[in-house]
Amino acid sequence: GQNIDQPTEMTATEGAIVQINCTYQTSGFNGLFWYQQHAGEAPTFLSYNVLDGLEEKGRFSSFLSRSKGYSYLLLKELQMKDSASYLCARRAAGNKLTFGGGTRVLVKP
């Protein structure tokens, strides 16, 4: 299967850092995506990892370990607008993406 596991919900304080973990099946793996989705809106692309290591993009960073089937998304200097669901997605051959259930992040003042 292509089980993708991520926590259901996380709460953090404005200005803090939150790390969202994602584990996935390694067979047939061809890349790992992170998307942000506000309630009722379209998912928007945040980051993409295909090689091991950390990719930094402003306040957001994403890490991948292919051998461990593990990724995380790091959100720094949290802002209220970062309250959203964060979706981990595994890519297989043919650019087919399978999404995890999403992690709902609530940022409190």
- Contact between 101 and other proteins by CB under 8 A: the answer reads yes
- Contact between 44 and other proteins by CB under 8 A: the answer reads yes
Residue carrying the six token digits 């607008």: 81
* Total interface residues for other proteins by CB under 8 A: 19
Shortest gap between Cβ of 21 and other proteins (angstroms)? 16
Which residue's CB is nearer to other proteins, number 17 or number 47? Answer: 47
Applying the rule CB under 8 A, the residues between 49 and 68 that interact with other proteins are none
- Segments of 1-109 assigned E as strands: 4-5, 9-13, 18-24, 32-37, 44-49, 53-57, 60-65, 70-75, 84-91, 97-99, 103-108
Chain-centroid distance, C-alpha 15: 19
- Residues in touch with other proteins (CB under 8 A): 31, 33, 40-45, 48, 87, 94-102
